[in-house]
Amino acid sequence: MSQSLDDIPSLQYIKDTANRFLDRETLGGLFLIASTIIALIIANTQWSIGFHHFLSDEFLFQFSDYFTFGLTIEEWINDGLMAIFFLVAGMELKREIMVGELSSFKKSSMPLLAAIGGMLFPAIIFIGLNYGSKNVDGWAIPMATDIAYSLGIIGLLGKRVPVQLKIFLIALAIADDLGAILVIALFYSNELSWVYLAFGAVIFGILMSINLLGIKNLFWYVIAGIALWFCFLNSGIHPTIAGVLLAFTIPVKPKLDSKLLKERTAKHVLELEKTNLEKQNPMEDVRQWEILRALKKDTQNARPPLLKLENKLINFNAFFILPVFGLANAGVVLDVGVFEVVSSSLGLGIILGLAFGKVVGISLFAFLGQKLGISELHPSLKWKHIIGMGLIAGIGFTMSLFITNLAFADSELVKISKISILIASMISAVAGISLLLLTTSKKQNIENIEVDL
């Protein structure tokens, strides 16, 4: 799917959004690491009981005497905040499809193939080790790549690695997130409520309709999106899916296209020149103030609603949602020995799936894509970069923890899974950083290029 430049009101605004996302996800990954450490400290000290009770407290909204709605704080985080996380992920995916790394088959084929391999091999390893046991329900745990954690780790390498490698990782992780979303929707949903599903389908239809009618005001999409989330929350399908569906209904085309913006700007400038610019400023001349306000409004109307909403949520997503999720979910009592974890089929399946299956699947499928002529490796990248990045992509963390909570009700299985995810993520991070540091020098041709849109 592609757009001409005339359809894009501000190419620089799109680039800025992509670069802002890259920067925030990298820094957000460091915040996530900090929240993980804090969660582990809390879980293994006397504060754990109080923190657990806090997460179990119910937070209620009372709209009337007849309608009260509430969830526990943990549910608000996992079902509410994570729906916003998936909304942002969906908007990132839509942006990349429209004008980014997934905008053409040639651009998207290698990270897409790598993502498929990176999901397929870990699942095969896990199923092979756990087939025939109740542990097999966790087959999707090692499939995930944590985009924030991975970018945070790779960001520590600075200019030692090409920026294009980070872009490749983003495209791969977004495709990986889409795969995780589909897996959650198809395999980790509860008993379905067809009434709520029907209401959800109607609301989604309304969202699509107002998009087709050209309504650009984000207020209506947010209100309908909340209603969609409520329907999915009660439907049996995980409510985070509502975030993705909402993302794909947010308009891309702005109120003013580039041509009309240019014409209106030229007209405003001519009107501004007729005022007494030399002797009066906008505080003294009402006409100047009105023209400048009109210019500001036109500039805002020339920005795609999708990018406006994404920009509003980027910081909230990176610096609040992910650290809060890590704080609520990463805490695990470390009273199980490492040998006990790695000797169990569940722990071994997760560790091998993330730390070994990810890098093998990503590297192999990317290599096959190039050999078959389906895709090509960017000139600034070498295969050592892809292998190193494949190792770092084994940091499953956020999505792996999220799927763990959906896959198992047994607290012991949850504990072993979480410890295994932490071990695998640590192995992947250390191995990936070590490989990239050992095979790359500061003097190599590593340029801080802009995101290629």
> Where residue 74 sits, what CATH number does that domain have?
1.20.1530.10
CA distance 9 to 52: 49
DSSP 8-state secondary structure symbol assigned to residue 66? S
d(CA 409, CA 305): 40
Torsional class of 320: left (φ above 0), alpha (ψ -120 to 50), beta (otherwise): alpha
132 Rama sector, left if φ>0, alpha if ψ -120 to 50, beta otherwise: left
Q: What is the DSSP letter of 410?
A: -
Structure token pair of residue 73: 């704080």
Domain extent at residue 341: 5-189+238-254+303-439
Gap between the Cα atoms of 428 and 356, Å rounded? 8
Q: For residue 194, what is the enclosing H or E element? A: helix 194-212
Same domain, 263 and 250: no
Q: What is the pLDDT of residue 28?
A: 67
pLDDT at 441 (0 to 100): 60
Q: What is the pLDDT of residue 199?
A: 95
Say yes or no: 281 and 412 in one domain: no
**Nearest-angstrom CA–CA distance, 173 and 156:** 18
Tell me the Ramachandran region of residue 16: left when phi exceeds 0, alpha when psi lies from -120 to 50, beta otherwise.
Answer: alpha
Q: Would strands 68-72 and 58-62 be described as parallel, antiparallel, or unpaired?
A: antiparallel
Same domain, 277 and 400: no
* Claim to verify: residue 245 and residue 115 sit in the same structural domain: yes
- Quickly list DSSP for 4-62: -GGG-S-HHHHHHHHHHHHHHHHHHHHHHHHHHHHHHHHHTSTTHHHHHHHHHSEEEEE
Q: Tens-digit pLDDT profile for the chain (453 aa)?
A: 344 434 444 555 555 555 555 555 566 667 878 888 898 899 889 898 898 899 899 888 777 666 778 889 988 998 899 889 889 878 877 877 777 666 677 777 888 899 999 999 999 999 999 999 999 999 999 998 887 778 777 767 767 788 778 778 877 887 887 788 788 878 887 777 889 999 999 999 999 999 999 898 899 999 999 999 999 988 887 788 898 899 989 998 877 776 777 777 778 777 777 777 777 776 766 777 777 787 777 777 777 888 889 888 888 888 898 889 888 887 888 777 788 888 899 999 999 999 999 999 999 999 999 999 888 888 888 899 999 999 999 998 878 888 998 899 898 999 999 999 999 999 998 999 899 888 766 555 444 444 444
Whether 293 maps to a domain, the answer reads yes
Neighbours of 138 (CB within 10 A): 26
Same domain, 346 and 425: yes
Whether 231 is covered by a domain: the verdict is no
259 and 183 fall within a common domain: no
Distance CA 127, CA 139 (A): 6
Find how far residue 262's CA is from the centre of its chain. Answer: 34
Last residue of a domain, one of 275, 302, 329: 302
**Burial class (CB within 10 angstroms; exposed 0-12, middle 13-18, buried 19+) of 38:** middle
- Residue 408 CA: distances (Å) to CA of 341, 404, 416, 422: 16, 6, 11, 17
From 285, 302, 319, give the residue that closes a domain: 302
Indicate the number of domains in the chain: 2
R_g of the chain, CA atoms, integer Å: 24
| Any domain includes 208 | no
143 is a domain residue: yes
Euclidean distance between CA atoms 207 and 90, whole angstroms: 15
- Would residue 209 count as lying in a domain? no
Measure the CA–CA gap between 172 and 271, rounded to whole angstroms. Answer: 49
H/E run at residue 72: strand 68-72
- Same domain, residue pair 167 and 23: yes
**pTM greater than 0.75 (yes/no):** no
277 and 331 together in one domain: no
Q: Identify whether the C-beta of residue 72 lies closer than 8 Å to the C-beta of residue 57.
A: yes
- With beta carbons less than 8 A apart as the criterion, state whether 119 and 2 touch: no
pLDDT value, residue 121:
96
Read off the DSSP letter of residue 451. P
